[in-house]
Structure 1
């Protein structure tokens, strides 16, 4: 499925890129765009899909790039007059572009911040000002974060939060360190130097990964979580950059969204939060998402994830990518288009298809809430 749809995207990318340029973004790195197909298969799908005619632009999270590519391709395959572009520049850029009104929707791996810094208005307040109504955080993509590694001689690796914190803080510097050996008994570990790669751009993946370190290893990782990296290592831009850094370096390790680890055939550590080593799977991530608490009001569906969970079988390092939307926009037709596309993105069929490329579908209870919120956009 992915190969077919990405081929379609490649052949039609020019139209979407022009639409995004017209919207005022200077950074076109990672832009995904597509125009609908007129095939008979598309016609049959369009009966079940609410279509719009025109353009939509979005920007932000690179963690959801592969997922939104799938959703855009399947939507525009059914709706030939729809043109959708998404610029995967990172969550920080997505929030800024959304607040500035430069895109129709944003993508962020962290909900809009309720508190401002140094006397500045909060992201929530800035977004509401731009929209003329409250902005909503709508969870759409569940993206597990893998601790991805490339070490000759290590086929299976388990890490605890404390050991991971020391690795990413630069305190553990070789793969045969006693602390790593302690949680990998029976595994022959090489003396290869550890090479940490981190996101050089402001990133929701960084935010969520450091939230896990801070919550699960508070004595080791004392820095406040945030979108800007405060540990050690070498910076690379976006998920693609850190994945390539690890792939090309014996001893390399990074935190990266699951689909990128899979695409680059990187090793992925099992995580032991205290309830036993857990492999990253759709099921283990779904178990963690189901335990998340609501942290918003009404249709603002921000979530509070439990990064320190010790529940057996729950994979604790994950992010939820939110689509940032105006609850009531100034352009009614554009709001209808956003509703139509997001309803498709949140549908059970599309969510299920995302498993093939390294995402976990929204749990049923969350899917129902998301669809209710989307219906309320006006």
Structure 2
């Protein structure tokens, strides 16, 4: 297996990565709002806030931090989109004040200590988006795949584009007699966790491995980050990969079978499945770890969806840090910021009962 990624440094190197990440300029202007619910009132917070994590959140975070800095000229927000695994590692070690993660904290992580927290950390959903199966196959502009076929492609059990299992689902398409190049994330990735969780739930007899941040099979090509996957598929021949829909660009996107229909990724489908999903049990009161309903048969829902979290302390050891994190998260989860992310990144805004729970969780940060 080719690996397009150099090894990721952790520990003390995480702080260096944060320092090197770009930050939006603190320009003056009309306050963008820093209060829950889309209030236009600015806050008096100041300081530097460092986040590390989900590359899927990258565009949304760039949008949020630029607006928050405009509203709060004394604040600098840095965000390094180096992957969910790196984000959780940095946050746990104290190298970042918050993490972005496409998978919620593991029980093994919660059983340990968090350097900046007086107690435990919590997961707060801030970004909901479908994961797209992006592909680059000459002459193929419409592709439909059922879950078992997707699992077999990425596991390496199906290796040719004109395989009968693909052909029978794509009548009329001229599928080439070409080797499939499945591209996966080479870094520890919450997107991979969501993708493998989906495959294990919907095609367990094929995809026998449980959900994991690390891609579990030695097949295809590995690429670092969402951008790496997109570049590898764009530059590859007969390639297919998985990535946040907002990053798909001009690449073709496959439909997946849900119930008895083939469904394209959409923000409406992502919102619908998020509303139909349950919280993980046994967590802190305001820990909103959500288990996406992968096995839905409702074709209005898109089960290959990620609910990406901000991981924060419930109570920070330094109350001034807690105040800054709280203010930023109040903006990030506001209607105003969620709509801005929808426009910039194509994400699905928080809504309904989940939005109410998120507001309560953010208000509890101190």
TM-score, length-normalised on structure 2?
Answer: 0.90
1:26 Cα deviation from its structure 2 partner: 3.0
> Any stretches of 5+ residues in structure 1 without a counterpart?
1-21, 115-121
Label 1:169 to 1:284 Cα distance change in 2 as closer, same or farther (>3 A).
same
Give deviations 1:13-36, integer Å, cap 9, x for gaps: xxxxxxxxx996233599341232
User: Please, which of 105, 123, 142 is the counterpart of residue 98 of structure 2?
Assistant: 105
Query: In the alignment, which residue of structure 1 is the partner of 2:275?
Result: 290
Query: In the alignment, which residue of structure 1 is the partner of 2:184?
Result: 198
Give deviations 1:211-267, integer Å, cap 9, x for gaps: 0000000111111220111121111111111110001113111111111113xx111
Query: In the alignment, which residue of structure 1 is the partner of 2:16?
Result: 26
When structure 1 is superposed on structure 2, of 122-131 and 79-88 the one drifting more is: 122-131
**Equivalents in 2 of 1:285, 1:347: separation in Å?**
19
**Equivalents in 2 of 1:251, 1:43: separation in Å?**
44
1:181 Cα deviation from its structure 2 partner: 1.1
User: Please, which of 216, 225, 239 is the counterpart of residue 252 of structure 1?
Assistant: 239
Label 1:307 to 1:200 Cα distance change in 2 as closer, same or farther (>3 A).
same
1:193 Cα deviation from its structure 2 partner: 2.1
**Equivalents in 2 of 1:234, 1:43: separation in Å?**
42
Query: In the alignment, which residue of structure 1 is the partner of 2:5?
Result: none
1:175 aligned onto 2:165: no
User: Please, which of 51, 54, 60 is the counterpart of residue 61 of structure 1?
Assistant: 54
**Equivalents in 2 of 1:44, 1:305: separation in Å?**
30
> Any stretches of 5+ residues in structure 2 without a counterpart?
1-11
TM-score, length-normalised on structure 1?
Answer: 0.87
Query: In the alignment, which residue of structure 2 is the partner of 1:14?
Result: none
**Equivalents in 2 of 1:273, 1:25: separation in Å?**
43
Q: Is the 2:94–2:114 Cα contact (8 Å) retained in structure 1?
A: no
User: Please, which of 343, 347, 351 is the counterpart of residue 363 of structure 1?
Assistant: 351
Query: In the alignment, which residue of structure 2 is the partner of 1:11?
Result: none
SS for the counterpart of 2:179 is coil
Query: In the alignment, which residue of structure 2 is the partner of 1:78?
Result: 71
1:142 aligned onto 2:128: yes
Give deviations 1:253-283, integer Å, cap 9, x for gaps: 1111111113xx1111111033311111111
**Equivalents in 1 of 2:155, 2:297: separation in Å?**
23
**Equivalents in 2 of 1:221, 1:133: separation in Å?**
37
Q: Is the 2:186–2:215 Cα contact (8 Å) retained in structure 1?
A: yes
Bigger proportion of residues as helix: 1
1:372 aligned onto 2:360: yes
SS for the counterpart of 1:287 is helix
Query: In the alignment, which residue of structure 2 is the partner of 1:119?
Result: none
Query: In the alignment, which residue of structure 2 is the partner of 1:215?
Result: 201
**Equivalents in 2 of 1:315, 1:36: separation in Å?**
38
1:327 aligned onto 2:314: yes
SS for the counterpart of 2:308 is strand
Q: Is the 2:31–2:40 Cα contact (8 Å) retained in structure 1?
A: no
**Equivalents in 1 of 2:32, 2:351: separation in Å?**
30
Q: Is the 1:135–1:327 Cα contact (8 Å) retained in structure 2?
A: yes
1:187 Cα deviation from its structure 2 partner: 2.1
